[in-house]
Structure 1
Amino acid sequence: MASASASATSPHHNGPLSHRYRGEHPLRTLVYLFEPDRRRVAQAVAAYLGKHTPVWLLPLITANIIDVVVRHSDVSALWWNAGVLLVVLSLNLPMHLLYVRWMHGSIRRTGTRLRSALCHRMQQLSIGYHSRVSAGVLQAKVIRDVESIETAAQQTADNGLAAVATLLGGLVVIGVETPLFLPVFLVLVPASAALVVRLRKRLRSNNETFRREVEQLSSRVIEMTTLIPITRAHALERTALKRVDRTLGSVLSAGLRLDLLNGLFGALAWILLNTIGVGCLVGSALVAYYGWFQVTAGQVVMLSAYFTALTSSVTSLMMLTPLIGKGLASVRSAGELLEAPDLEENAGKAEVAEVRGRIQFQQVGFSYPGGDRPSVTGFDLDVRAGETIALVGGSGAGKSTMLNLVIGFLRPTEGRILLDGRDMEALDLRSYRTFLSVVPQESILFEGSIRENVGYGMTDVPEERVRTALRDANALEFIDRLPEGLDTVVGERGARLSGGQKQRLAIARALIRDPRVLILDEATSSLDSRSEALVQQALARLVQGRTVFVVAHRLSTIKGADRIVVMDEGRIAEVGPHDRLLRNGGVYAGLQAAQIA
């Protein structure tokens, strides 16, 4: 697997997250991720061992107290044992709070660092990568996978440390107090835990069956709700309900079977464990009764209590395996993004301090990975600064690919593109894009105010400058009617605005940056005639004095372009102004005639 570095700075200033992922075992990756917090994790482990002391100490103290009673020993020993237990119990609260602060805090910070690294990586990955991988998949990696890692780490720490502390403490006490029983426990406890886990594994397969039935129900309900207009239109409500009812019946049957099996296996596991516990109690009692070894009445009770505690601890450790596996799978999933090699490399390249706007395409070609033919081939064009170039052609002609090449989202696989005489391959494209603006087919707004959306990424923009950009974009006519004006919140993705209003805000966002290169990608294709007229007026102001590349489905909107480039199967079919291309009677004239018809 190709390697790549992922760098991100934690918002909590815990240092950079920079690591070369090579598909290594996710446990190693986890260790690396927790590296900045290793000290806190060590402190958390120490705090947990301290707070957990009463659990494994209680059987020993119980044994001592029983022996005091049975032997009628000095009663001060009873008070001394009770005092020790009360002291360790009182330490539980502060130790627990310290543990939560150190361990859970470390897990949360690690999750934050990982999410930050994933977001940084997404910003570094090429547009080609984002076109191949859905936004839902990437969102799941940032939200769900990191949450799975945090949950697995928390539960493994809490349950795993509890089990380990009980095991170590109990075995040490048994080894000191009744060393002859230590080998018995080392064999009997793991064997008992293995039997319990085996019974629970039978439950897991039945749980899986029930889960699949519920998923099938979910699919049926989604199908039913999607088809409601068709169902109602054809009076098929009974048919739709019968399909859902059949699935509901399957879920009910699977659920009842699962409940019975849960009860059966749960009872069997409980009986099995307690039967072995009774055997341990009777066996140690017989040893004490016949005096085969020096075992006191208190130690008999202690051994019985430890058997139950240690068996539960081993069982807990064994049951953590699926949870740990799920967490490690999420680490691998996040690693797929962090190691993705499809990066836009700008490091070490020349920064662009000024753009005049001349762009030269010299035999440019581009092929998408796995494509059966080039998307663009032999594209040769010299665009003067301040010229408006329209790209037209049928679907798949290569127009969008050319726009992405101009923006620098894609790099030519053949030929080269020069910006003001400099090969774009040698330029830091991030600095170039500060001189570029894009007005897409569907304007993308975030949930914030109109002022924030127009000035996105800019700081301390004077209100008059914002209003001027909105006026030139023909947007003030509706903004001034809004109750809160510039501070009106537009809703998620601009949900409270019409398509034409959103598009005029996108134009204002482009105007306020005063770009030297402008990309218009089907900027009016989805608008009604009135909105289109307002947007066209705004675009006419926007293109003045700038190098403009425009793609438009409606040929009527690009009549004023300096040159129209007609593309066909990735090649330039013809170039020229609107009137000349019509007179030539070529591909463009055919497209025009088809639209008029």
Structure 2
Amino acid sequence: MSKQQKLPGSLASSRWLISHTLDLLPPLALASLLACLNRLVALGIYLLAGVGLVQVIGLELPGPSSRVPIGLLIVAIIFAGLLKGGLRYAEQYVGHKVAFLALSRLRSTMYEAFAKQAPFTAATKSSGSLLAKATGDIDKVEVFFAHTLPPAVAAVVVSATVSWWTYLNFGSTPALILLSGYVIVGLLLPMIGVPTLRRAASSAATSRGKQNQLVMESLAGVEVLHAFDAGEQMIKRLAITASADAAQGNRAGWVTGLRAALSQIVTWGSALALVLASETTLSATIILVVIAVPSYDSVRTVDGFVLGLQDSLASARRLFATASAPPVVAEQRGSVPLPHTGTLSVQNLSVFHDQRQVVEGVDFSISPGELLTVVGASGSGKSSIAAALVRALKSNGTLSLGEVQLDMVPLAELRSRIVLVSQEAVMVRGSIRENLVLGAEGITDEELRSVINELGLGPWLRAQRDGLDTRLADRSSSLSGGQRQRLALARALVRHPAVLIMDESTSALDADSEQLVLNAINERRGYGMGVLMISHRLATVREANTVMVLDAGKIVESGTPQALLADTSGVFYSMVVRENDRITAESP
């Protein structure tokens, strides 16, 4: 989502939420019924207490009613209290069960949206913001389901019931006084400061994403922060991020306090008006006031959940915007399967990132068993080409494998036949086996051990007590960078891809380990696997069939390593000389 893109409105977001949880409306209706019964029973308790109070102070009950034994009132109050507790528990149980089911579905929906926009979206957008949406924003939506409809229905039912009961027993004037108070507390007061609350909720949701991002960056670079004593600086950045949110929160606090004060004024003002307008006995007036004052609690919950609802709707707007955002690359209908082998052909490739062209007019091909090495300065477009080949970036041009155009192939199949291994070897929490297989079917433990041995990790694996079942530590901190890169390569090789793309995927290896990797790659080239290798190490290009030199997204040289080295005025020759000079200078 671009910075200029506006978030959808609250109404559209609410419709989106409900559309994903339509079958949960019946249990939500049950929760609303239980909420109504719970609050009506609570008023019944106040009624019984009022009757007891009138009798204790020596007044006669209104109407033809005789005195009610105090013991019987106490028993009735205890019974009603137990009933209210059961209704309250049932209401909360059903309401939160609906809420948690809805949250589970929303999480699945969001993960599906992230998957459709991956891998490039996850790598380039604020991961802290994505985390905030996947966790904090979805948790905020819980208010929408568990604390919105049941209290709203209960407020309407209780206010209507008490107003009607007051009209039947005390006349129209007290009933109008109560009804007017309900309208003010339940409808008019919640409208005060809604724009301020909405801005505060939106600011808080945005701030959560920024703070999550800073925390994640700090955790990922904790060693660097310690080494350069930059902890205080990160804390200051976090404080600055929270300052704007704090200002909005203070304004929201003023609005909340004002509404709470006005609500109390209306409640007790209505009670005073009932006393002044009463034309009945003192005992009847006492019972009316005892019931009327707590009846406002049900209506006051509307004002309470409106506060949480603003947070909920702000989060819902962010979720809806993410879930409805088009993927970076759309899946084509009527897709055709890819062949298991064939020539990878790229013609007139142009790659775009955020509407900016980063690669222009690139042509190359990789036949089965061939190695194409791409070199160039940082930012020259090498990784963008790799991303375009697995359709992780928007691109133009003709890309095909064995005469089948890549944009007509299902993404899952494309990424299983053309496998990209990046410099950042990501391992998920789980066992070694789970990290290597990652959902692929038909891969045996023997295959896993074989490729691990080829890449020089056999002794390390045998030293693990649980072998392939060894669980990797959080963020795979128990592995070195070289071990992670070799495991990532093993994960790719065990899938037997038609084309392997290596984007700086040996950068953390020493010379001996890198040679083991290259030997394994060359062996598979003998079986027809094509390889596109992106590398800053020019020493790795000596076995390449073709070297392609990029600069500013364009090919400036292409040919065999020998031919390019023979051109002493060429770009590749200059790069080799500079690297040799650097190696010589670093040698003891």
Question: Shorter-chain TM-score: which interval?
Answer: 0.7 to 0.9
Alignment correspondent of 2:26 = 39
Residue 276 (structure 1) aligns with: 269
For residues 247-286 of structure 1, the aligned pairs below 5 Å read 272=265, 276=269, 279-280=272-273, 282-283=275-276
Which residue type is aligned with residue 31 of structure 1? Answer: I
User: Which amino acid is 1:433 matched to?
Assistant: R
Determine the structure 2 residue equivalent to 1:588. Answer: 572
* Residue of structure 2 aligned with 1:329, choices 299, 309, 314: 314
- Answer whether contact 1:194 1:315 (CA < 8 A) is retained: no
Q: 1:100 aligns with which of 77, 92, 106?
A: 92
Alignment partner of 1:473 is 2:466? no
> For residues 569-592 of structure 1, what are the alpha-carbon distances to aligned partners after superposition, in whole Å with 9 as ceiling and x for unaligned?
222222222112101221111111
SS in 1 for 2:395: coil
Aligned to 1:405: 388
Shift of 1:266: 11
CA drift at 1:533: 4.2
Is the CA contact (8 Å cut-off) linking 1:200 and 1:265 kept in structure 2?
Answer: no
Match of 2:336 in 1: 351
Corresponding position of 2:492: 510
CA shift, 1:450, in A, is 1.4
Of stretches 567-576 and 154-163 in structure 1, the one that deviates more from structure 2 is: 154-163
> Equivalents in 2 of 1:423, 1:460: separation in Å?
27
Note closer, same or farther for the CA distance 1:595–1:26 as it changes in structure 2 (3 Å cut): same
Alignment match, 2:437: 455
Instruction: Verify the 8 A CA contact 2:353 2:394 in the aligned structure 1.
Output: no
Secondary structure of 1:441 counterpart:
coil
Bigger drift between 520-529 and 578-587 goes to 520-529
> How far 1:336 moved relative to its partner?
0.8
User: Cα offset for 1:190?
Assistant: 4.9
Q: 1:561 maps to what in 2?
A: 544
Determine the C-alpha separation between the residues in 2 that align with 1:319 and 1:196. 11
- The TM-score normalised by the length of structure 2 is 0.79
Correspondent of 1:419 among 393, 398, 401: 401
1:357–1:386: 8 Å Cα contact kept in structure 2?
Answer: no
**Contact 2:336 2:408 (8 Å CA) reproduced:** no
Q: Which residue in 1 is equivalent to 2:35?
A: 48
Partner of 2:353, secondary structure, is coil
Against the structure 1 CA distance between its residues 498 and 370, is the aligned structure 2 distance closer, same or farther, given a 3 Å change threshold?
same
Task: Say whether residues 1:300 and 2:290 are aligned partners.
Answer: no
Post-superposition shift, 1:411? 4.4
Of 135, 140, 164, 1:143 maps to 135
What corresponds to 1:134 in structure 2? 126
Paired with 1:267 and 1:572, the residues of 2 have a C-alpha distance of: 68
Q: Name the SS of the counterpart of 2:317 in structure 1.
A: helix
Contact 1:446 1:491 (8 Å CA) reproduced: no
Report the secondary structure of 2:509's partner residue. coil
Give the letter for the 2:60 counterpart: V
Q: Cα deviation per residue 1:458-480 (whole Å; 9 max; x = unaligned)?
A: 34643222211211121112111
How far does residue 516 in structure 1 lie from its aligned partner after superposition?
A: 1.5
Go from structure 1 to structure 2 and tell me whether the alpha carbon gap of 1:512 and 1:89 turns closer, same or farther (over 3 Å shift): same
| Alignment counterpart, residue 376 of structure 2, candidates 393, 403, 410 | 393
Q: Separation in 2 of the partners of 1:283 and 1:166?
A: 23
The residue number in structure 2 matching 1:7 is none
CA contact (8 A) 1:490 1:496 kept: yes
Q: Secondary structure of 2:479's match? A: coil
Instruction: State the AA in 2 paired with 1:183.
Output: L
Task: Tell me the equivalent position of 1:118.
Answer: 110
- One-letter amino acid matched to 2:22: E
2:329–2:394 CA contact under 8 A, matched in 1: no
Please identify, of 459-468 and 509-518, the stretch whose mean Cα deviation from structure 2 is larger. 459-468
Structure 1 counterpart of 2:178, from 169, 172, 185? 185
**1:191-226: CA deviation from partner (whole Å, max 9, x where unpaired):** 57899989999x99xx99xx9xx99xx99x999x99
8 Å contact from structure 2 (residues 185, 303) kept in 1: no
Deviation at 1:556, TM superposition (A): 0.3
Aligned to 1:340: 325
Rate the CA distance shift 1:165–1:574 in 2: closer, same or farther, 3 A: same
Structure 1 residues 541-589: Cα deviation after superposition (integer angstroms, max 9, x where no partner): 4544311110000110121111111122222222222112101221111
* 1:420 partner letter: G
For residues 426 and 226 of structure 2, the distance between their equivalents in structure 1, rounded to whole angstroms, comes to 31
Equivalent residue runs for 1:76-95 within 5 Å: 88-95=80-87
Which residue of structure 2 aligns with residue 170 of structure 1? 162
1:440: which partner in 2?
A: 422
- The question of whether the paired residues in 1 share the 8 Å contact of 2:51 and 2:287 is answered with no
Name the CA shift for 1:66/1:396 in 2 (closer, same or farther; >3 Å). Answer: closer
Which of 372, 376, 381 is matched with 2:364 structurally?
381
Q: For residues 88 and 556 of structure 1, what CA distance do their matches in structure 2 show?
A: 84
C-alpha separation in 1, matches of 2:361 and 2:182: 75
Of 143, 147, 162 in structure 2, the residue corresponding to residue 155 of structure 1 is: 147
Structure 1 portions without partners, runs of 5+ = 3-20, 289-294
2:497 is matched by which residue type in structure 1?
P
Aligned pairs, how many?
A: 541
Q: 1:463 to 1:533 in 2, by over 3 A?
A: same
Q: TM-score, normalised by structure 1?
A: 0.78
State the distance in 2 between where 1:578 and 1:588 align. Answer: 9
Cα distance in structure 1, aligned partners of 2:419 and 2:433: 18
Residue identity opposite 1:70 in structure 2: E
The letter of the residue matching 1:560 is: E
Contact conserved, 1:277 with 1:304, CA < 8 A, in 2? no
Output the CA distance in 1 between the equivalents of 2:434 and 2:65. Answer: 80
1:495 aligns with 2:482: no
Cα-to-partner distance string for 1:38-87 (whole Å, 9 max, x where unaligned): 11111221222223322222344445566776159545798887777666
- Over aligned residues, Cα RMSD in angstroms? 4.3
- In structure 2, do the counterparts of structure 1 residues 229 and 400 end up closer, same or farther at CA, with 3 Å as the change threshold? closer
Letter in 2 for 1:496: S
Report if aligned partners of 2:368, 2:525 keep a CA contact under 8 Å in 1: no
The secondary structure found in structure 2 opposite 1:25 is helix
| Contact 1:23/1:335 (<8 A) preserved | no
**Residues of 1 paired with 2:114 and 2:332: CA distance?**
16
Secondary structure of the residue that 1:91 maps to in structure 2?
helix
1:120 to partner: Cα distance: 0.6
Q: 1:12 matched to which residue of 2?
A: none
Deviation of residue 484 (structure 1)? 2.5
Inter-partner Cα distance in structure 1 for 2:541 and 2:159 = 78
SS in 2 for 1:338: helix
Structure 2 unmatched ranges of 5 or more: 3-7, 582-588
